[in-house]
């Protein structure tokens, strides 16, 4: 399907409370209402549970199955109420395994998910590495892919999503390294797509998250950025035809000018 001319999309920045699903949903309820009128909204990483678990046992207790989740049912209800697509970080349990997941829902239910590939610090002790690749979803009004937080530092995954036709990358995050907000828009510049990084803020058991959620455009310009320490909802209009035009100059194409025969060392 042709992309519609403008898409209204944005982020919710908030501070999930570790282990308090009810209060996280109450807070999100208020913030999602402020996003009414948007087509798509992105919520931070592990928004149902919080991030800095004491141990794997605590993470496991706070995780849910995608098919049987109070949190995802809540997201679907909100998607229906406000006619929205919602992307949210989710502490996912499947059997005895845990995944740091991003789910995509609309009013009809779960459309798809992505499981974080590049785990950060203590996440190695808790989560499995993502095992479902890098899906791109055609929503009609745009094609979108998802990455989660520390995935930001690996250019390969951003490129793969561009090659699969993503117009927009949704990036639920709990960022701690202070320079991510500088670097991420460059992936958008190089791949010529929009990026929404929905970050959290606050300190959780000694780990401080940087807030400053942002949206960047197809030339790497930051269109809006939240402050470092407050609840924020921001929506922008995106012209998806700009993501579909991969010309850099009249003779240079961001993807077609690649030279894969020279890149064999990349997959060693
Ligand atoms: C991170 O990947 N949550 C830093």
Residue 118 Cα, ligand 1 centroid: separation in angstroms?
9
Q: Give the pLDDT score at 148.
A: 99
Residues near ligand 1 (Cβ within 6 A): 45, 120, 149-150, 174-176
| pLDDT at residue 28 in the model | 98
Specify the pLDDT at position 72.
98
* Secondary structure (3-state) at 142: coil
Looking at residue 268, what is its pLDDT? 81
- The pTM (predicted TM-score) of the whole model is 0.97
Which of the listed CATH numbers 3.30.70.890, 3.90.226.10, 3.60.110.10, 3.40.50.410 matches domain 6-267? Answer: 3.60.110.10
* 27 has pLDDT over 60: yes
Q: Show which residues are catalytic.
A: 45, 116, 149
Give residue 53's pLDDT.
98
**pLDDT one-digit tens code per residue, 172-186:** 999 999 999 999 999
Q: Is 249 exposed, middle or buried (0-12, 13-18, 19+ CB in 10 A)?
A: exposed
Q: What pLDDT shows up at residue 267?
A: 85
* 244 HSE (CA, 13 A, CB side): 13
pLDDT above 80 for 1: no
Nearest-CA residue for ligand 1 atom 2 is 150
Residue with tokens 């828009």: 185
Specify the DSSP class assigned to residue 4: P
> What distance in angstroms lies between residue 120's CA and the mean position of ligand 1's atoms?
5
How many CA within 13 A on the CB side of residue 234?
Answer: 22
How many other CB atoms are found less than 10 A from the CB of residue 67? 9
pLDDT in tens, 185-205: 999 999 999 999 999 999 999
């Amino acid at each position: 399907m042709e992309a519609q001319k403008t898409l209204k999309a944005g982020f919710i920045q908030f501070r999930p409370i570790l282990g308090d699903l009810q209060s996280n949903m109450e807070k999100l309820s208020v913030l999602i209402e402020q996003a009414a009128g948007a087509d798509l909204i992105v919520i931070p990483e592990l928004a149902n549970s919080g991030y800095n678990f004491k141990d794997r046992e605590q993470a496991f207790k706070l995780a849910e199955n995608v098919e049987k989740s109070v949190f995802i049912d809540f997201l679907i209800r909100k998607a229906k109420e406000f006619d929205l697509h919602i992307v949210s970080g989710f502490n996912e349990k499947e059997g005895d395994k845990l995944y740091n997941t991003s789910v995509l829902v609309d009013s009809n239910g779960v459309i798809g998910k992505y499981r974080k590939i590049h785990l950060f610090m203590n996440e190695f002790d808790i989560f499995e590495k993502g095992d479902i690749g890098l899906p791109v979803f055609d929503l009609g009004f745009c094609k979108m892919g998802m990455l989660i937080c520390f995935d930001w530092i690996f250019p390969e995954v951003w490129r793969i999503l561009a090659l699969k036709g993503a117009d927009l990358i949704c990036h639920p995050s709990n960022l701690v390294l202070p320079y991510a907000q500088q670097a991420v828009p460059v992936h958008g510049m190089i791949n010529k797509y929009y990026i929404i990084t929905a970050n959290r803020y606050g300190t959780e058991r000694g780990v401080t998250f940087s807030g400053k959620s942002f949206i960047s455009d197809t030339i790497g310009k930051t269109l809006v950025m939240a402050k470092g320490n407050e609840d924020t909802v921001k929506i922008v209009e995106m012209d998806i035809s700009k993501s579909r035009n991969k010309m850099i100059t009249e003779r240079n194409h961001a993807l077609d000018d690649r030279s894969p025969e020279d890149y064999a060392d990349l997959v060693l």
